[in-house]
Amino acid sequence: MAKLNIVLYEPEIPQNTGNIARLCACCGASLYLVGKLGFSLSSKYTKRAGLDYWDSVDLHKIDSMDELYKEFPNGTFYYLTTKTDKLYTEIEFKEGDFIVFGPETRGLPEKYVKDENARTIPMMEGQRSLNLSNSVAIVAYEAIRQNGL
């Protein structure tokens, strides 16, 4: 298992997924794409955003979160959302943790944002959300800051 696992639940924008794949290649994180994708992995936009890093990505396509939980029954999962007051900086990351991000236009389903491991990235009041690839980078590098590459 990777030191860090990034999970994108039903991502919609190929450029974001490509950028995140590149980030995962650079920091040694595994990338799990869960559920229905809003694009094809062979999309020119996805490939262009990931540049020539795709061969270095530990990429997994999973049909559902339940399947991911079944594969990693002892995994610790953190859910990033704008619908909580608990900050991502309160997490004490450990090797092998899973950080789950929702689709760009609607975020994670209610059952995940109500979980005790739901966390947020602080923003100015009145703003809707950060870009998905920026959010992944912020949280991934906090985990790296705590534990190293």
The pLDDT tens digits along the chain (149 residues) read: 568 999 999 999 988 998 999 999 999 999 999 999 987 777 676 666 556 777 889 999 999 999 999 999 999 999 999 999 999 999 999 999 999 999 999 999 999 999 899 999 999 998 888 999 999 999 999 999 998 76
Q: What kind of architecture, by CATH, is found in domain 4-147? A: 3-Layer(aba) Sandwich (3.40)
With a CB cutoff of 8 Å and minimum separation 6, the contacts of 70 are none
Give the amino acid at 39: F
End-to-end CA distance of the chain: give it in Å, rounded: 14
pTM for this one? 0.92
Helix (H) or strand (E) holding 96: none
State how far the Cα of 112 lies from the Cα of 57, in Å rounded to an integer. 26
